[in-house]
Structure 1
């Protein structure tokens, strides 16, 4: 506690002022945490002095909050670029901040060390050495890259719910019986349902294969029934079966962008709103993925998929700009793959625009990008559509095939690789 207090004073975290009786004073309290290593052993004990922000009310005591958080896609893109880009560039340092946890990577060890020492001279921090464990994600170094795993996080969830001894399954969701909003017995512990879904949401940062199940189950947070909780337990059984797997980020000379986009048109039996998803690859490595239930009912499968092509294109453009800032050269035009032939034709042929006036903004955005050769929209066969994992529950064979292509594999023997430093303030 004294070390934490001394650090706050050294960093000039606050300044003493005369109390204004017209304003509410936000109290603070001490939190105690045990920091553990990836193998579960105790690393250090930590005391935190935090403000009781929960005593404030939005619009009354504050209007907005901000804390620096790195976007997960940025972290995965950085991991992919650091495996091969640093060799061919000038001295470069990349700093990724998540509140008070920082990842520092670059291509010159002495410059990185100088940068860390400069931070230490101004702030109180601890150099944790090579990146092995960060925010619940275990980073394993393999001969040709990295594997991101959350095995310990999974085991902690199973232990908390007393499910360590349950038998595992091979898919996270049943592909036969869809979940519905129906009358049934309300789940006796709504808080447990919501708490578990929140943890699964965080787990999907490195487990894209559970994204659809988590998204679907999150649609029943307002009033979950027992059937929904059984579906949550199935996801947990799947995680128990596959806890040893991880997301692979490998070295590759391919520095191009490939995106798969798919939509499950009118599949929701309750409101007939479509679900759309995409996954973006930087070379062979998945760096960004998302799935969303669309806001309105689409009148055709073309409309449902085309609207999400526009959303996916915005993400692709953002990652492309990020790579440009990292001085990564993309040799080929980025490609978006979809299994709807009409969407492919529509993105190239402006004559069809009269049929799609109700999505004219998305049409104009995608068409302009295609005509300027900034992106290429092409057709892919349905059996090669990797985004199917994000839009519908798949049977075991199809799901296992897609999971493998997403780069989710069993870790190999770890070894030190990329010079990536993790520090904590």
Structure 2
């Protein structure tokens, strides 16, 4: 019930009213009692229902009291004074439809039509991306629009490729793919693609569409497009949908690549070969939606039927013709290989011979498209020992060739290995005790470590059967504190002699003198065969899952894990609360010999030391290594004294160091204890990756050397000397690589035996390959070379076929930090310069050039990269250069020093250079920018003398520790060209007295200074 505020008259509610009052009432304004009032009457009956004062506007205040009404009645509420925006904010910013429904359900009458103004809070809190619509536009002619994008592979390919760039014609949807090792190669491939379009199709690119990657967004790319009239369009940042054609092509090709690899059983590192095949096939397959059933090849070339004679099943067994390179008529005319697709440079097939890693390119190939050799190799690997090589597996496949009509599903019987049957002599008398299990390398990631013997048996008479292996666990007394040891697995039927390992077949050596074209490696004009002379080494896995697929890498991990347990590296304990638990990972390395051939596969467990906290997990971390000058000096002294040089290598050196801190680590991947999966490793010994591991190993080794009579050098803490009445012994330590020399061979043998009793150490014999340095012996002395390292550097960066130059730096160029554009990919620049710095160990001729380019590592520019490329071209022409060390009686120290003046265009600082000889042997050199600005060329040169003398004094102290005494005083030669000879004595008065006093007092006048023009 509502009462009128003027007349205090009861006003009845209107039950059932479903409209606003304006539709039921007839209103008019009257003058009553000197006040303007509004009277509302019912339109049907004319009865007065409401009287209220008028405020002179369209608003009429009504004072009322609300009375309770029944549930079935509706109460017409008075118009609200608040707008829809207020209710929108009150209700937590609902959408307009939700707010409208709420107002309608609660009978809230708005003062106007409900609408919302722009809400800043809603835009900030609930903003969403707009939907994308399908693009219906398509180019009217080829190369009007070209789409492009870069894709990165999770694993490098066999040839070292990590990326590819794809170019797609919008008109025909034809795709071109280029493999890349680095992203900065995209511009070169685009330039190559543009030239191909102009030359082959007589057309030009009008619009180039790409994303905002730095390989596309750079000054070099932009200027090239502008100069050639190409419109370069970019997708919006973080909006790959605008480059959807290229993105969808990535997905399409990836699906095909996975299918091809799974079909052939090839590992992921063959993705490059698979994706090239995928692009070839996709360009020839019809598109049902975009191209109306036609193929991109048909649209672009106008040929409805492409040549299908070259299409074969990827990864299948093939037999290329190799008789043209056979040494004689009894050599095999073909070899079983794996088909890797078509050659993009020849009209032929690429065939991989797994036992050597060679790829044959031939058109005379016989295919068996229902057999996939690598799939058979994988199944053989899963049922054989982890140490079985790929060659042995391939030879086993060849010894059991499948029938031509057999399907891939029948290959289980072909391999001859079955886990469901036992050989008769094994099943009859073999008994498995509770502590013995049938050995297979587990397929799961959490497993016990196993090590299978290399002696896998094969029965001559009859099909080969599965040999039963037993595993004997040797646990510590406390099973909760140690991981199970991967003890050796031995055959339970030891009475059967192991079958010999299959020998690798090799073509007979040519004995006759006739030199044919194929024997001379001249294949010009012959398209029937092309072979690669490069033998590929095993690929280093990136992840544990990838390495676990290879039996050789599994064996390497098992060997490392066995060494960790043997060394008592950790104990398994429950994870303490609130402890800093660090992880670990496997790192893989292919060890090579001096000639580049395979030495062994090394798997190393590395702790994630970056998670350590200083003061909790570690304290001191510094550990010295022997200096390069010390190595050259000791080699020179040993050669002049007639001492023998031996080389040692410490196995798992860091594992010998003892930890003083409490460090907890997760269990190694793949070797989690099956019964204690939640336990962690409390480290007792140092492990690779820990910040204090190098220091712990150095302290452990040096303390042992002190116990057996060695004394550390005062000049180089990594050189240890032992002088006794029997002779002199010298030991040089570089982490885990050791050089030992001495005056007596018997003393060296005794020292090596003593070290091997204390540490797991290999005697590598006479010094021949140390830290990547090849040591060649000759009657005149030693020759130190890094030829293999330099060759790998040139090959890695594509400079093996470059044109050599005669000097490492251009004599007219002066590098500056402000000239030229910044490099798009500074990583490659830093990688090359870092490799060149290590090459200066035996190459003093590039020392100044490398020092010059190393000054711009923080922000390299294009002129700096050109200078680096010139150094590589110089190395290409001087690959055989090295450092000779000759024998000399009564050697003396001779030094040469020089300096430029204000040679740096940025800082105006001078560069000092010196080289020091011990007899005829160059043992130390440097080319370094001076730390301060010199006021004259004379001051710069005398500063160079001071630096040279400091180095020579250090060398003399090193020689004194070796008990090598010089019979002549030190001679320092310096060239002063800033004044004529008659005025050179006056130069001393021109120099600051502090500089002269420093030189004279420092040297103690124990040298002779020689000035020459």
Counterpart residue number, 2:818: 182
Helix, strand or coil at the partner of 2:860: coil
1:272 aligns with 2:908: yes
Aligned partners of 1:158, 1:353: CA distance in 2, in Å? 51
Counterpart residue number, 2:792: 156
Counterpart residue number, 1:387: none
Counterpart residue number, 1:366: 999
C-alpha contact 1:369 1:375 (8 A) present in aligned 2: no
- Residue 309 of structure 1 deviates from its aligned partner by 1.7
Structure number with greater Rg is: 2
1:34 aligns with 2:590: yes
- Residue 292 of structure 1 deviates from its aligned partner by 1.3
- Residue 297 of structure 1 deviates from its aligned partner by 1.2
- Residue 374 of structure 1 deviates from its aligned partner by 2.1
1:327 aligns with 2:963: yes
C-alpha contact 2:899 2:911 (8 A) present in aligned 1: yes
1:167 aligns with 2:803: yes
The match for 1:66 among 617, 622, 625 is 622
Q: How does 1:286-301 map to 2 (within 5 A)?
A: 286-301=922-937
The match for 1:202 among 811, 819, 838 is 838
Aligned partners of 1:226, 1:129: CA distance in 2, in Å? 46
- Residue 103 of structure 1 deviates from its aligned partner by 1.0
- When the two chains are superposed, the root-mean-square deviation of aligned CA atoms in Å is 2.9
Aligned partners of 2:578, 2:927: CA distance in 1, in Å? 46
Aligned partners of 1:353, 1:52: CA distance in 2, in Å? 59
- Closer, same or farther in 2 for the Cα pair 1:354/1:61, shift >3 Å? farther
Deviation readout 1:120-178 (Å, 9 max, x if unpaired): 11111111111111111100001111000000001111111122111111110100121
C-alpha contact 1:338 1:378 (8 A) present in aligned 2: yes
Q: Which runs of 5+ in 2 are unaligned?
A: 1-556, 644-722
- Closer, same or farther in 2 for the Cα pair 1:205/1:19, shift >3 Å? farther
Farther-moved stretch of structure 1 (266-275 vs 19-28): 19-28
- Residue 328 of structure 1 deviates from its aligned partner by 1.0
C-alpha contact 1:255 1:328 (8 A) present in aligned 2: no
C-alpha contact 1:11 1:123 (8 A) present in aligned 2: no
Helix, strand or coil at the partner of 2:738: strand
Helix, strand or coil at the partner of 2:834: helix
Farther-moved stretch of structure 1 (272-281 vs 304-313): 304-313
- Closer, same or farther in 2 for the Cα pair 1:62/1:220, shift >3 Å? farther
- Residue 181 of structure 1 deviates from its aligned partner by 2.1
Q: Specify which structure has the bigger relative contact order, considering alpha-carbon pairs within 8 angstroms and separated by 6 or more residues.
A: 1
Aligned partners of 1:60, 1:47: CA distance in 2, in Å? 29
C-alpha contact 1:68 1:97 (8 A) present in aligned 2: no
- Residue 16 of structure 1 deviates from its aligned partner by 7.4
Counterpart residue number, 1:111: 747
C-alpha contact 1:7 1:124 (8 A) present in aligned 2: no
Aligned partners of 1:69, 1:214: CA distance in 2, in Å? 22
- Closer, same or farther in 2 for the Cα pair 1:154/1:59, shift >3 Å? farther
Deviation readout 1:282-313 (Å, 9 max, x if unpaired): 11101111121112211011221222322221
Counterpart residue number, 1:4: 560
| Larger fraction in helix | 1
Deviation readout 1:178-233 (Å, 9 max, x if unpaired): 11222422212100000110000010111011111111101111111112111101
1:95 aligns with 2:727: no
C-alpha contact 1:38 1:152 (8 A) present in aligned 2: yes
Farther-moved stretch of structure 1 (130-139 vs 178-187): 178-187
Counterpart residue number, 1:308: 944
Counterpart residue number, 1:380: 1012
- Residue 31 of structure 1 deviates from its aligned partner by 1.5
The match for 1:128 among 754, 761, 764 is 764
Counterpart residue number, 2:888: 252
Aligned partners of 1:189, 1:295: CA distance in 2, in Å? 30
Counterpart residue number, 2:45: none
- Closer, same or farther in 2 for the Cα pair 1:12/1:61, shift >3 Å? closer
- Residue 57 of structure 1 deviates from its aligned partner by 7.5
Aligned partners of 1:351, 1:15: CA distance in 2, in Å? 71
Number of residue pairs aligned between Structure 1 and Structure 2: 373
Aligned partners of 2:820, 2:986: CA distance in 1, in Å? 49
Instruction: Compute the TM-score of the two structures, normalised by the length of structure 1.
Output: 0.80
C-alpha contact 2:938 2:987 (8 A) present in aligned 1: no
Q: Which runs of 5+ in 1 are unaligned?
A: 382-425
Aligned partners of 1:270, 1:144: CA distance in 2, in Å? 46
- Closer, same or farther in 2 for the Cα pair 1:138/1:21, shift >3 Å? farther
Aligned partners of 2:613, 2:848: CA distance in 1, in Å? 33
- Residue 66 of structure 1 deviates from its aligned partner by 2.2
C-alpha contact 1:353 1:363 (8 A) present in aligned 2: no
- Closer, same or farther in 2 for the Cα pair 1:354/1:69, shift >3 Å? same
1:75 aligns with 2:631: yes
Helix, strand or coil at the partner of 1:224: coil
- Closer, same or farther in 2 for the Cα pair 1:216/1:351, shift >3 Å? closer
- Closer, same or farther in 2 for the Cα pair 1:350/1:3, shift >3 Å? farther
C-alpha contact 2:629 2:923 (8 A) present in aligned 1: yes
Farther-moved stretch of structure 1 (162-171 vs 75-84): 162-171
Instruction: Compute the TM-score of the two structures, normalised by the length of structure 2.
Output: 0.35
- Residue 81 of structure 1 deviates from its aligned partner by 0.2
Aligned partners of 2:762, 2:946: CA distance in 1, in Å? 43
- Closer, same or farther in 2 for the Cα pair 1:21/1:140, shift >3 Å? farther
Deviation readout 1:323-354 (Å, 9 max, x if unpaired): 111111200011111112899x9xx9999578
- Closer, same or farther in 2 for the Cα pair 1:363/1:229, shift >3 Å? same
Aligned partners of 2:986, 2:804: CA distance in 1, in Å? 51
Farther-moved stretch of structure 1 (52-61 vs 99-108): 52-61
- Closer, same or farther in 2 for the Cα pair 1:155/1:352, shift >3 Å? closer
Deviation readout 1:43-84 (Å, 9 max, x if unpaired): 222222223334458899766522341100000000100012
Helix, strand or coil at the partner of 1:181: coil
Helix, strand or coil at the partner of 1:330: coil
Helix, strand or coil at the partner of 2:803: coil
